[in-house]
Structure formats: C-alpha cells, structure tokens
C-alpha cells in the first residue's frame, strides 16, 4: 500500500500542493505605542466623552468609552505565522487561498517601512488579503507568484492602510 505524503509542515499548518516557498512572519504589523501616543489617545477619547455629555448625546459618550476599552483590551502582540506558497495556492495561518480564487497580487515593499504581499481575491467575502513578508526576499515571492497569477505593477497601498500605519493603530 502506497503511503500518502504528509502535507503538514513542522508548525502544523495545512497546505495543498508542492511547497515552493516558505517563510514565517507576524500575522499583522504591531506598532509600539509610546507614552505620548497613549496620553494623546486618552485625551482624545476623554474630549469626545465630555462632548457627548455636554451635548446630551449619552449614547455617543458610551460608544466612545466602549470603543476605547475594546481597542486597548484587544491589541496584543501578534502571533508568528507560517506562509507557504505551493503550486496550488498560498497557505497562511491555517487558511488556504487557491490560485483559481485569486485575481492578482502586488508587493508593497519599502525597506524599513512596509513589506507586504497583497492578494486580490475573487470569491471571498474579504476581497484583499495582506501578508507580511518578514525576512522573505520580495523578488523571490514575485518570481514564484508570477508563474500562477498576474502582478499589479505600480499598485500602492490604500489611503486607509497608509493612515493606519502612520497613526500606528
């Protein structure tokens, strides 16, 4: 009886196909927030709560307190995930994206600032997926992915992504 090859990587992430490229990276960008950032955030939320109370918009004030609480309670250190590009698609953190469900990809790479592989999907609720490259060479990623899906050359990060990065959210 012929034994099937084990398609599980050492880190237990499931992938389909023959692995072509593999790397580890944080699941999302984490920005260290200094004391000044935290003080400014608290002052802004406090000002909005005071505005809500003064204008008798109590639901607004409550929502601001809840928003701030949820934000500070849910922001934690990102886990490190394994990203595997195979001849059938890309696996990232137990999720497999088939090439047949991808329209295109683009690399957003500015050393020291941003290093992302972005995927534009066709049949998903989430239309775009952004994966961090970590220490992976973007030229290698481009070479491998170009064999399967087209690259959007010249595509830049969106305004919201730029704003989130600049505000360190």
Domain shared by 83 and 41, yes or no: no
Domain shared by 42 and 23, yes or no: no
Token output for 37 = 């950032």
* Chain position carrying tokens 């050359």: 153
Domain shared by 107 and 149, yes or no: yes
Domain shared by 142 and 118, yes or no: yes
Q: What is the CATH number of the domain that holds 119?
A: 2.30.29
Domain shared by 41 and 118, yes or no: no
Nearest Cα neighbor of 168 from 57, 41, 21 is 41
Domain shared by 63 and 95, yes or no: no
* Domain assignment of residue 6, yes or no: no
Domain shared by 59 and 116, yes or no: no
- Of the chain, the end-to-end C-alpha distance in Å amounts to 54
Domain region containing 154: 19-29+79-167
* E strands, 12-143, in order: 19-26, 80-86, 89-92, 95-98, 102-110, 114-121, 128-132
Domain shared by 92 and 62, yes or no: no
DSSP class of 90: E
103 within 8 A of 122, measured Cβ to Cβ? yes
Per residue of the chain (169 residues), what is the pLDDT tens digit? Answer: 433 333 344 344 455 778 888 888 877 776 677 788 788 888 999 999 999 999 999 999 999 999 888 877 777 777 888 889 998 999 888 888 889 888 999 888 776 666 888 888 887 666 888 888 888 888 898 999 999 999 888 777 777 776 766 666 5
pTM: 0.62
Domain shared by 68 and 87, yes or no: no
* Domain assignment of residue 7, yes or no: no
Domain shared by 84 and 148, yes or no: yes
Q: How many independent structural domains does the chain possess?
A: 2
Nearest Cα neighbor of 72 from 28, 37, 29 is 37
Residues with Cβ within 8 Å of 54's Cβ and at least 6 positions away in sequence, in order, are none
What is the Cα–Cα distance from 112 to 69, expressed in whole angstroms?
Answer: 31
Domain shared by 42 and 108, yes or no: no
Tally the residues of the chain.
169
What is the Cα–Cα distance from 46 to 24, expressed in whole angstroms?
Answer: 39
């Amino acid at each position: 009886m012929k034994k099937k090859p084990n398609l599980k990587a050492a880190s237990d992430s499931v992938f389909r196909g023959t692995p072509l490229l593999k790397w580890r990276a944080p699941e999302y960008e984490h920005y260290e927030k200094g004391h000044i950032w935290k003080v400014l955030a608290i002052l802004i939320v406090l000002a909005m709560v005071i505005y809500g109370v003064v204008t008798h918009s109590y639901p607004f004030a409550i929502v601001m307190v809840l928003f701030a609480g949820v934000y500070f309670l849910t922001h934690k250190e990102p886990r490190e995930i394994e990203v595997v590009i195979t001849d059938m698609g890309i696996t990232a953190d137990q999720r497999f994206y088939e090439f047949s469900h991808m329209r295109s990809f683009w690399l957003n790479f500015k050393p020291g600032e941003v290093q992302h592989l972005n995927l534009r999907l066709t049949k998903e609720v989430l239309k775009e997926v952004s994966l961090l490259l970590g220490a992976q060479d973007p030229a290698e990623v481009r070479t491998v992915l170009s064999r399967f899906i087209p690259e959007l050359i010249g595509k830049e990060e969106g305004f919201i992504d730029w704003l989130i990065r600049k505000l360190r959210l």
